């Protein structure tokens, strides 16, 4: 009954153009601002924090330009040699040669993380010749 | 005649709107895709190519970011800083933020240059240094 009293409205269709404008602007915004690259982080405790966390003397590993890891006795350590000759729970200091690129260091760090080394830090870089007397 | 014209224009209008509906559908789908899959973040790009790493410990954004380009240009929170000014700038930032820092070094940077920066960070008192890498699919 009450609807009959209301003035009859002409049904008007809403134009979709305005809606598309807004949606396009939103689309542009999200396309330009969103990023799909994923980053990961290799966490390193500073040498100060690592040495206070454990009393044991850190073990030293040298990293050559080509990514090979070596100790004072052995060169080109394999994965099995790394896990058998070294204690993975003891802080380990990786000493890359000065010209080693960051990509090689990252590869070595992630290799050591995969093998289970928990506390790996980067030590002072030193030339290949006098590596034996290494200290942090 | 006029009634016929009115009906024709009305039909044309609804027809043009009908044609737009698939377009809107697609645009909406794209919009939803970018809203859900993308991540809005501050662009930090000093022309770096980050080292790649297949290990996936997702990076947590840190309040302090240091970028080291292959030309040894240092950007501290997107501002260019000389190596000599770095300790002072870091000390200032450390007063406001926790002692964690994100280091984004170009993959071609050599260790002797990175080591100088890391040494400065350690001396400034940063306890945790996060070396940022690009995550790649493990082959």
Tokens of B63: 């309040």
**0.80 exceeded by the pTM?**
no
Per CB-CB distance under 8 Å, the chain B contacts of A31 are 30, 34
* Contact assessment for residue A125 and residue A101, using Cβ atoms and an 8 Å cutoff: no
Indicate the DSSP class of residue B118. H
| Distances A41 to A63, B57, B80, B108, B123 between C-alpha atoms, Å | 20, 6, 23, 18, 21
Indicate the DSSP class of residue B84. T
Calculate the average pLDDT of chain B. 81
A107 close contact with B: CB closer than 8 A: yes
* Contact assessment for residue B134 and residue B51, using Cβ atoms and an 8 Å cutoff: yes
Mean pLDDT confidence for A72-79? 79
- Least Cα separation, residue A5 to chain B (angstroms): 28
* Contact assessment for residue A102 and residue B114, using Cβ atoms and an 8 Å cutoff: yes
Burial-class residue A120 by CB neighbours within 10 Å (0-12, 13-18, 19+): buried
Per CB-CB distance under 8 Å, the chain A contacts of B108 are 101-103
Indicate the DSSP class of residue B59. P
Give residue B29's pLDDT band: very low, low, confident or very high (50, 70, 90).
very high
What is the end-to-end Cα distance of chain A in Å, rounded? 92
* pLDDT (tens digit per residue) in A20-68: 889 999 999 988 888 787 888 888 776 555 445 556 678 888 888 888 8
Tell me what percent of the residues of chain B surpass a pLDDT of 90: 7
Tokens of B42: 């501050």
Distance (Å, whole) CA B138 – CA B119: 32
Select the CATH number that applies to the domain covering B52-135 from these four: 3.30.420.270, 3.20.20.100, 2.40.50.140, 3.30.200.20: 3.30.420.270
Query: Closest chain B residue to A30 measured between Cα atoms?
Result: B34
Q: Which range among A11-15, A50-54, B67-71, B79-83 shows the weakest confidence by mean pLDDT?
A: A50-54
Stronger pLDDT, A73 or B12, i.e. the higher one: A73
Residue A117: its pLDDT value, please? 84
- Least Cα separation, residue B126 to chain A (angstroms): 7
- Least Cα separation, residue A50 to chain B (angstroms): 9
Q: What residues have CB less than 8 Å from A59, skipping those under 6 apart?
A: A71, A86, A87, A90, A91, A92, A93
Residue A122 forms beta bridges with which residues? A94
Mean pLDDT confidence for B42-67? 79
Ranges of each domain in chain A? 47-122
Q: Which range among A92-101, A121-130, B65-74, B95-104 shows the weakest confidence by mean pLDDT?
A: A121-130
Query: Closest chain A residue to B39 measured between Cα atoms?
Result: A34
- Least Cα separation, residue A2 to chain B (angstroms): 30
Mean pLDDT confidence for B37-54? 77
Location of structure tokens 């895709």 = B33
Does A101 sit within 8 Å of B109, measured CB to CB? yes
ipTM above 0.90, yes or no: no
Ranges of each domain in chain B? 1-40, 52-135
Tokens of B25: 């559908």
A33 close contact with B: CB closer than 8 A: yes
């Amino acid at each position: 009954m009450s609807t009959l009293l209301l003035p009859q409205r002409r049904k008007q269709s809403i134009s979709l153009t305005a809606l598309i404008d807004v949606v396009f602007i939103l689309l542009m915004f999200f396309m330009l601002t969103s990023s799909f690259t994923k980053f990961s982080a290799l966490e390193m405790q500073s040498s100060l924090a690592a040495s206070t966390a454990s009393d044991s003397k850190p073990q030293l590993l040298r990293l050559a330009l080509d990514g090979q890891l070596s100790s004072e006795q052995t060169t080109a350590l394999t994965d099995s040699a790394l896990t058998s000759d070294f204690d993975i729970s003891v802080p380990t200091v990786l000493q890359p040669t000065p010209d080693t690129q960051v990509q090689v260091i990252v590869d070595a760090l992630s290799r050591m993380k995969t093998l289970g080394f928990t506390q790996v830090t980067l030590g002072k870089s030193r030339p290949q010749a006098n590596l034996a007397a290494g200290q942090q | 005649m006029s009634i016929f014209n009115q009906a024709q224009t009305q039909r044309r209008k609804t027809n043009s709107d009908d044609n737009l509906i698939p377009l809107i559908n697609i645009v909406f789908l794209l919009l939803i895709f970018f809203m859900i899959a993308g991540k809005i973040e501050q662009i930090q790009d000093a022309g770096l190519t980050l080292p790649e790493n297949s290990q996936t410990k997702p990076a947590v954004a840190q309040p302090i970011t240091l970028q080291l380009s292959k030309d040894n240009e240092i950007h501290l929170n997107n501002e260019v800083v000389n190596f000599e000014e770095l300790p002072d700038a870091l000390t200032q930032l450390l007063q406001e933020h926790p002692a964690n820092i994100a280091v984004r070094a170009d993959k071609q940077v050599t260790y002797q240059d990175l080591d100088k920066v890391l040494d400065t960070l350690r001396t400034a008192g940063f306890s945790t240094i996060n070396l940022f890498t690009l995550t790649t699919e493990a082959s």
